[in-house]
Amino acid sequence: MRATIKDIANDTGLSVTTVSLVLNRKAHKIPEDTKKRIMESAQKLNYRPNQLAVSLVKKRSKTIGLIIPDIGNVFYAHMVKGIEECCREFGRTLILCNTNDLHERDMEYIHLLADQGVDGIIYVMSRESDETAGKESVRLLERLQLPFVLLDRFLTDVDCAEIILDHELGGYLAARHLAELGHKKIACVTGPANLADSERRLKGYARALQEFHIPFDKKLVYEGDYTMECGERAVTELMQYGFTAIFACNDLSAFGVYRQLSKYHKKVPEDISVVGYDDVLYADMMAVPLTTVRQPVYEMGVESVKRLISQIKKKKVEKRQAVFEPKLIIRSSTMGIGQECNI
């Protein structure tokens, strides 16, 4: 049986009230030797406070819910690490929910976390969550009166706390790099068209082409779904158009591009230059290390916890949007037209 305050009181011969004051660090007028007796008894009896009872009294559970689309994706694993470590610093426990990119599970987990009494939720929307579905989730969170922060994927006209990346800048940096290397036929493998982050990466790509007076060719744009398989399908579809470079809107798609290009006996970067997006762990471990756009996902995860804790303590919704900047990481998968490969 779990030791209780009453057990410590019986063991020390002191009142329950005195023991409770000491264990809750409110014993300002209690002698030090009495405090010592109580703490020694608590240690001897392996006493641990009942957090459920504490949360009922304080109306705080000291738990944070995290909803993410795919824990198997290294991108999210790195994000979770930042969130979990920051939660520990704030004395919070993290409850992780994985949706497999299904909006229905987003809704299920919001209800589940509310039933578990979490203090707030960090929410990364599923790939299925377009503007309509995403707003349904946000309305549910608001109806349940749960503090929350949207992380990474976002909605265009929802007034809530959001931690996002400047994805238009990211797409621009990727396409500009290829244009600066002299490429004129630059293909693009996007994410789902219904996601705002994918749309903005494509917008940045188009802006860079315009800056370098390269016509925007719809035939060179393939709508993907942020998977390795879509990168493979994109190469098969785009090969007929004779591109010399390709920007994949996430690294998983870029890995698929690599694999399919090899089936066509095309070498990276000698025949085709490739740029990815995310800078996941494996990007630098490829046979040809991938040039990619780095998202500071660890830092974004940390910031999401800080914003959520601020909401919980102030008991009001943070409206401010935190926008992080991406960075182009140049490796060996890109080279200029007519340039010799140094790999």
Task: Give me the helix-helix angle, 32-44 and 16-23, nearest 10°.
Answer: 90
DSSP 149: E
- Do 188 and 202 contact (CB within 8 A), yes or no? yes
pLDDT, residue 318, reads: 58
Same domain flag for 30 and 68: no
Same domain flag for 173 and 198: yes
What's the pLDDT tens digit per position in 195-223? 889 999 999 999 999 999 999 999 999 99
Same domain flag for 313 and 258: no
Same domain flag for 145 and 178: no
The reply to whether 16 falls in a domain is yes
Residue spans of the chain under pLDDT 70: 1, 50-60, 316-319, 340-343
pLDDT, residue 321, reads: 86
Edge to edge, the sheet with strand 186-190 lists 221-223, 186-190, 245-248, 273-278, 291-294, 327-329
DSSP 99-136: -TT-HHHHHHHHHHHHHTT-SEEEE---TT--HHHHHH
Same domain flag for 193 and 271: yes
Domain around 26: 5-49
The reply to whether 339 falls in a domain is no
From CA 33, how far away is CA 75, in angstroms rounded? 53
Beta bridge partners of 120: 64
pLDDT, residue 56, reads: 44
The reply to whether 328 falls in a domain is no
Same domain flag for 285 and 304: no
Angle CA 290–294–318, to nearest 5? 160
**CATH, residue 19:** 1.10.260.40
Same domain flag for 148 and 209: no
Same domain flag for 174 and 286: yes
Residue 331: how many other CB atoms lie within 10 Å = 18
pLDDT, residue 99, reads: 96
Same domain flag for 213 and 65: no
**CATH, residue 136:** 3.40.50.2300
Q: How many domains does the chain have?
A: 3
Q: Which amino acid is at 146?
A: L
pLDDT, residue 342, reads: 56
Strands (E) across the chain are located at 63-68, 93-98, 120-123, 148-151, 162-165, 186-190, 221-223, 245-248, 273-278, 291-294, 321-324, 327-329
Same domain flag for 198 and 264: yes
pLDDT, residue 343, reads: 52
The reply to whether 179 falls in a domain is yes
Same domain flag for 147 and 210: no
Of 295, 313, 336, the domain-final residue: 295
Token output for 200? 């903005």
Same domain flag for 272 and 306: no
pLDDT, residue 340, reads: 67
